[in-house]
Amino acid sequence: MKSKTLIRFLKFFVLLLFISSANAEEPRFYIPDAPAIGAASYVVMDHNSGVMLAAKNEDEKRAPASLAKLMTSYVVFQRIKEEFITLEDDVKISEKAWKTGGSRSFIEVGKMIKLKDLLRGMIVQSGNDASVALAEHVAGSEGTFVLFMNDYAEQLGMKNSRFENSSGLPHKDQYTTAKDIAILSSAMIRDFPDFYKWYSEKEFTYNNITQANRNKLLWTDSTVDGLKTGYTQKAGYCLVTSAKRVGMRLISAVLGSESPTVRFTETEKLLDYGFRFFETQSVDDISHQVPIYKSEKSSLKVGVADSTYLTLPRNQFKYTTQTITLNQDLIAPINQGERIGNLVISFSNETIATLPLIALEDAPESGFFARIVDTIKLLFR
């Protein structure tokens, strides 16, 4: 009798374990809404994946103010890269550049100034005069330089931007968006890492005049290393920022704040939100072994084709599943780099990303008799 009772107890215990296992769920990830931000438009974006983590009116066209200088510096950096100009070029200052109003680097008409000093004057001091001098040196005139600005903006996918001058001074037909400025800033960091370091300089001295960088976050947040402030009456107070924490780089663009203090506090809110609730993982190092036939090898090492990043709720990546789908049975010869299928990354039965899968090594053909054996194996598969 006691043995029957024990057996019934064990069966009940096993049933409880089964029910518990069947009802077990994957961890849930709840992301709160982005904090309320005091700005006309904003965006916070992951630099590596390009994913927007939060945004408001991100495609609204607005006056760029000095954020236009980001495009000016991008064009200059590109022309240096293409070897049309160099950092050591001597640039003669025109009367137009000297007379340009607004924030200044205090360059003097007729003087010869090194191009790298003008760049730092524009980036750190936000000198409108330096911007015009650079534009004239690169393209002969500021009007021609604007053609470069708009051409590169189109290439970068800045669909809602138009530039009419190199400095960002008010112009009725000049506009950009929070999203476009974030795209431009990301391209700057990606394409010109050696030049990007100037955006973290806290001050620059020229003509015996020292001016501090207007981006006060460089002093108060050690993870911030750029980029640019801007202000006109029409644009309001603007700030585009990049920061790097916990293996991530985020870019925020805040346009149309009501004061210098607000643009800084709201930027910190966006950065804190992005870093706290999201993570970005590289999938470059994901590799698998898959069977291959008629080869000297029994399996082939495969992985993703390009540098790829996924931005997910923090800690979610470790719960994802990875599934390989092959175009067909792999038969040698196969060359390194050849696409052979897809890697599907999913969470809770929902596909997060589908990435091209390539051979990470060569798979030469095996001998005649080994190929015959594999032919028979394939017939019976």
Instruction: Write out the catalytic residue numbers.
Output: 66, 69, 126
Which CA distances in Å does 6 have to 17, 18, 253, 368?
17, 18, 67, 63
Which CA distances in Å does 147 have to 71, 74, 92, 142, 154?
11, 13, 22, 9, 11
Backbone angles phi, psi at 218, to 5 degrees: -65, -25
Measured at the alpha carbon of residue 344, what is the angle toward residues 321 and 379, in degrees to the nearest 5? 105
Can you say whether the dihedral through the CA atoms of 178, 81, 197, 136 is positive or negative?
negative
Asked if residues 146 and 152 have their Cβ atoms less than 8 Å apart, the reply is no
Nearest to 270 by CA among 251, 255, 257: 251
Asked if residues 134 and 119 have their Cβ atoms less than 8 Å apart, the reply is yes
The C-alpha atoms of residue 159 and residue 142 are separated, in whole angstroms, by 22
Can you say whether the dihedral through the CA atoms of 56, 58, 59, 64 is positive or negative?
positive
The C-alpha atoms of residue 134 and residue 119 are separated, in whole angstroms, by 8
Q: Which residues pair with 175 in a beta bridge?
A: 162
